[in-house]
Amino acid sequence: MSSSITVPLWLALIVALLAVWALLDRLLMPSARWFIRSRADKVLDEVSQRLPIHIRPFQQVRRQAMIDRLVFDEKVQQAVRALADAQRMPREVALAQAQRYAREIVPAFNAYMYFRIGYWFGKKLSQALYRVRIGSTDDAALAAIPENATVVFVMNHRSNMDYIVASYLAAERAALSYAVGEWARLWGLQQLIRAMGAYFVRRDSKDELYRRVLERYIAMATEAGVTQAVYPEGGLTRDGRLREPRFGVLDYMLRGFHSHGERDLVFVPLGLNYDRVLEDRTQLLAGVARRTGRGRALANTALFLGNQLWLLLRSRWHRMGYACVNFGTPVSVRAWTAQRGIRFEQLGREQRHQEVAALGRHLMSEVGRLIPVLPVPLVATVLLGEPLRPYSLFDLKAAVAELVGTLTASGAHLYVPRQDWDYAVSAGLRMLTLRHLVDEAGGLYTARESEAPLLRYYANSIAHLLPE
């Protein structure tokens, strides 16, 4: 006599899914990991031969091993004990919290993802949106950076495209490790960002344990020679001007620096600018309201994408002008401290903060000096003269020529497309009229009064280069 057991369909489906998952985990995943690692090792060998700034062994350590190393760092353990004592919680609970922070911060650098997928994506996206250019570089000084030095690129922050454009343009020199804000902690995106070597930062966190875990990771990476990129402004510009810098990450880096240590710490100033910033209207709204809700930001993004798609379907879409990057002269911390007669490791708290701020302000002044002058900011500056008035094309070009003379005298870095100022003015004016920021009637061009804040946003990107 036979008997049968009836299993509900939903239970059968769950069992089938678990069986498939077990098959993938036991048979296919190890093969996939081996394939990815072998590809990554091959790329690593290739780029190690051509990159002036090498990928460090620190970046090749397995992620879990790095998390464990960070969690059991002496200073992190001190912070764990302090938290447990202060809040009267079991030490295991505080330790688990430190582990969560470490998993959130530590990247999972993969050379194949960075130099094959990331570089390809960055190049294609940058070139699809902009005419990307390197304006000026101090090649001799960059080539003179010691091979074992820790190199940190310090730059201004105008757009989330900064990550992509700078990584693409710097890929022939180094693999950059960025601090990325919490906005990018989305499933799928965060895994890609970690594979690119970036680490996540809660910029306004007051949690002492979190700050200590972050500090120790940055100090470890700096001591190990990992090439990094930082935005001292902390966030995107709201009005086009450079924001007041914050030097917390800079301080963390300097905590691992010793004047007579094995490695020098070298900061490379880098200035970026765009003829069009993707987030310009969103940032202006945020500057007025102090806080833009995620829903409002998503709505603005959707509206922007929809408008661009509509232009594309009508064959009226144009690239968004020029994006330009200038690389400045490296600043050696070893030389800086010798010149000032100080050693960071010997300074008291207050004096240390003062010296970190002095170095940070110097670096940001160099970054400001390096910001490229592009066609749109030039034309916007002229059109915003007080009071607003119409310009003929001839008068506009004459006014731009006068402004160029002033900027040149102040040592600004001007990017001239095709080495032709007439073309540069026409390119900037075309971008502004296509966006309906400037009205044209009878051969006369006038800034649209309702769009004056947006025009000011672009003019502000070079305002600091003009005499007060």
Choose the final residue of a domain: 341, 370, 399.
370
| 193 domain residue, yes or no | yes
Q: Are residues 148 and 220 in the same domain?
A: yes
* CB-CB neighbours of 449 under 10 Å: 9
| 4 domain residue, yes or no | no
Q: Which residue has the higher pLDDT, 295 or 349?
A: 349
**Closest-CA residue to 70 (of 102, 36, 111):** 102
Q: Are residues 172 and 117 in the same domain?
A: yes
Q: What is residue 179's predicted lDDT score, i.e. its pLDDT?
A: 81
Q: Are residues 218 and 328 in the same domain?
A: yes
Number of domains in the chain: 3
Q: What is residue 176's predicted lDDT score, i.e. its pLDDT?
A: 84
Band of the pLDDT at 385, cuts 50, 70, 90?
confident
Q: What is the mean pLDDT of residues 258-281?
A: 93
Q: What is the mean pLDDT of residues 104-112?
A: 86
User: Is the predicted pLDDT of residue 85 greater than 70, yes or no?
Assistant: yes
CA distance 465 to 410: 7
Q: What is the pTM of this model?
A: 0.85
% the chain with pLDDT above 90: 58
Q: Are residues 272 and 127 in the same domain?
A: yes
CA distance 177 to 167: 9
Q: Are residues 44 and 185 in the same domain?
A: no
User: Is the predicted pLDDT of residue 279 greater than 60, yes or no?
Assistant: yes
| 448 domain residue, yes or no | yes
The mean predicted confidence, pLDDT, of the chain is 86
User: Is the predicted pLDDT of residue 47 greater than 80, yes or no?
Assistant: no
User: Is the predicted pLDDT of residue 31 greater than 60, yes or no?
Assistant: no
Q: C-alpha angle 323/326/332, rounded to 5°?
A: 150
Q: Are residues 138 and 197 in the same domain?
A: yes
Q: What is residue 150's predicted lDDT score, i.e. its pLDDT?
A: 94
Q: What is the mean pLDDT of residues 104-123?
A: 85
Strand duo 322-327 + 131-134: pairing: parallel
- Give me the helices (H) in 184-231, please: 189-195, 208-223
Q: Are residues 358 and 236 in the same domain?
A: yes
Q: Are residues 108 and 238 in the same domain?
A: yes
In the block, residue with structure tokens 């890929």: 171
CA distance 92 to 95: 5
Q: What is residue 28's predicted lDDT score, i.e. its pLDDT?
A: 56
Q: What is the mean pLDDT of residues 68-76?
A: 95
Q: Are residues 140 and 264 in the same domain?
A: yes
- Domain that includes residue 22, residue range: 11-50
Q: What is residue 314's predicted lDDT score, i.e. its pLDDT?
A: 73
| 203 domain residue, yes or no | yes
Q: Are residues 223 and 111 in the same domain?
A: yes
Q: What is the mean pLDDT of residues 227-246?
A: 92
| 314 domain residue, yes or no | no
Q: What is residue 271's predicted lDDT score, i.e. its pLDDT?
A: 96
Q: What is residue 49's predicted lDDT score, i.e. its pLDDT?
A: 59
CATH of the domain at 414: 1.10.10.2090
Q: Are residues 344 and 383 in the same domain?
A: no
Q: What is residue 81's predicted lDDT score, i.e. its pLDDT?
A: 95
| 240 domain residue, yes or no | yes
Choose the final residue of a domain: 306, 336, 370.
370
Q: What is the mean pLDDT of residues 101-114?
A: 87
| 315 domain residue, yes or no | no
User: Is the predicted pLDDT of residue 44 greater than 50, yes or no?
Assistant: no
Q: What is residue 5's predicted lDDT score, i.e. its pLDDT?
A: 61
Which residues make Cβ contacts (< 8 Å) with residue 259, sequence separation at least 6? 334, 337, 338, 343, 344, 345
CA distance 356 to 362: 10
User: Is the predicted pLDDT of residue 267 greater than 80, yes or no?
Assistant: yes
In the block, residue with structure tokens 């302000």: 361
User: Is the predicted pLDDT of residue 19 greater than 80, yes or no?
Assistant: no
Look at 47-56, 173-182, 192-201 and tell me which has the smallest mean pLDDT.
47-56
Q: What is residue 468's predicted lDDT score, i.e. its pLDDT?
A: 74
Q: What is residue 120's predicted lDDT score, i.e. its pLDDT?
A: 87
Read off the pLDDT of residues 411-460 as tens digits, 9 standing for 90 and up.
Answer: 999 999 988 999 999 999 999 999 999 999 999 999 999 999 999 999 99
Q: What is the mean pLDDT of residues 248-268?
A: 90
Read off the pLDDT of residues 288-306 as tens digits, 9 standing for 90 and up.
Answer: 655 555 556 566 666 766 7
The gap from C-alpha 351 to its chain's centroid, in whole angstroms, comes to 29
Strand duo 177-180 + 150-155: pairing: unpaired
Q: What is residue 89's predicted lDDT score, i.e. its pLDDT?
A: 92
Q: Are residues 365 and 382 in the same domain?
A: no
| 67 domain residue, yes or no | no
Q: Which residue has the higher pLDDT, 294 or 159?
A: 159
Which residues make Cβ contacts (< 8 Å) with residue 40, sequence separation at least 6? 110, 111, 112, 113
DSSP 391-445: EEHHHHHHHHHHHHHHHHHTT--B--GGG-HHHHHHHHHHHHHHTTSEEEETTEE
Q: Which residue has the higher pLDDT, 49 or 400?
A: 400
Band of the pLDDT at 247, cuts 50, 70, 90?
very high
User: Is the predicted pLDDT of residue 8 greater than 50, yes or no?
Assistant: yes
Whole-angstrom CA distances from 269 to 161, 163, 255, 329, 375 are 18, 15, 20, 7, 22
Choose the final residue of a domain: 345, 370, 395.
370
Q: What is the mean pLDDT of residues 397-423?
A: 94
% the chain with pLDDT above 70: 83
User: Is the predicted pLDDT of residue 254 greater than 80, yes or no?
Assistant: yes
CATH of the domain at 132: 3.40.1130.10
